[in-house]
Amino acid sequence: MAFDLDEQEQLATLKDWWSKYGNLTTWVLIVALAAYAGWSGWNYYQRSQAIQASQLYDEQQKAVTAKDSAKVQRAAADIQQKFGRTAYAAMAAMSAAKVAFDANDLNAAKEQLQWVVDHGQDDDYKALARIRLAGILLDQKAYDDGLKVLAADLPPPFASAAADRKGDILVAQNKLDEARAAYQLALDKMDSKNPGKQLIQLKLDAIGGAPAKAAA
């Protein structure tokens, strides 16, 4: 079928444009499609990782219920090795640390908590791990190490618990003025309705009450 004059002009314009930009357009499309495929593939990979990690985590929790400490620790190690970038890795480590602590295996508990501090993807889990790790170091009389663990910047919801734990360590070191300041900070950072406030106040009162204010 013959083209009329307008169609011939349009075809000529299209051919001219394609000769100039066709190769570039093709590459742009290829890159865009590759990026989309990569993004889709990454999302699928992440979902797959999370599903597999959750299955291992469920198995670990069954071991926790069964009080099978060895299996709990193995499951935590497996999740950390295979799915370390998922939230389940930190959750498994925290569970393993609790089981180890209850079994009086403080070194195993420390290792699990330290893993969360070093490799955890969630700031809240990392903060909680620091506070619990500092408690174990307090039990082991590693006071300076405990204070170093607590020296990191923690999310605001954990400021009170961290200050309270710091106060405990300072009391053990007989640094009572610093301990008073730490306990007072813990009280200041804690919600007034939190029942834990009474315990901190008792500890503060036991070492002489609120810290003295510096002279103006």
Do the beta carbons of residue 96 and residue 74 sit within 8 Å?
Answer: no
What percent of the chain has pLDDT above 90?
63
Angle between helical axes of 176-189 and 196-206 (0-180°, round to 10):
160
Residue written as tokens 């999370």? 50
pLDDT at 165 over 70: yes
* Residues ≥6 apart with Cβ < 8 Å to 98: 109
Q: What is the pLDDT of residues 43-71, one digit of tens each?
A: 555 566 778 888 999 999 999 999 899 99
pLDDT at 146 over 80: yes
Q: What is the pLDDT of residue 54?
A: 87
Q: What is the pLDDT of residue 77?
A: 95
Architecture in CATH for domain 145-216: Up-down Bundle (1.20)
What does each C-alpha distance from 46 to 59, 69, 141, 148, 176 come to in angstroms?
Answer: 20, 29, 41, 34, 49
Q: What is the pLDDT of residue 209?
A: 80
The dihedral of CA 125, 160, 164, 179: what is its sign?
positive
What does each C-alpha distance from 99 to 46, 71, 77, 106, 205 come to in angstroms?
Answer: 29, 11, 14, 10, 33
What is the overall mean pLDDT for the chain?
Answer: 85
User: What's the mean pLDDT in 15-44?
Assistant: 59
User: What's the mean pLDDT in 28-41?
Assistant: 56
Q: What is the pLDDT of residue 42?
A: 44
pTM for this model (two decimals)? 0.75
What percent of the chain has pLDDT above 70?
75
Q: State the span(s) of the chain assigned CATH 1.20.58.
A: 145-216
Residue written as tokens 């290792």? 111
User: What's the mean pLDDT in 168-178?
Assistant: 96
Q: What is the pLDDT of residue 52?
A: 86
Q: What is the pLDDT of residue 171?
A: 96
Q: What is the pLDDT of residue 186?
A: 95
User: What's the mean pLDDT in 169-173?
Assistant: 97
User: What's the mean pLDDT in 102-110?
Assistant: 95
pLDDT band at 24 (very low <50, low <70, confident <90, very high): low
User: What's the mean pLDDT in 132-143?
Assistant: 96
Q: Which two tokens stand for residue 26?
A: 């093709």
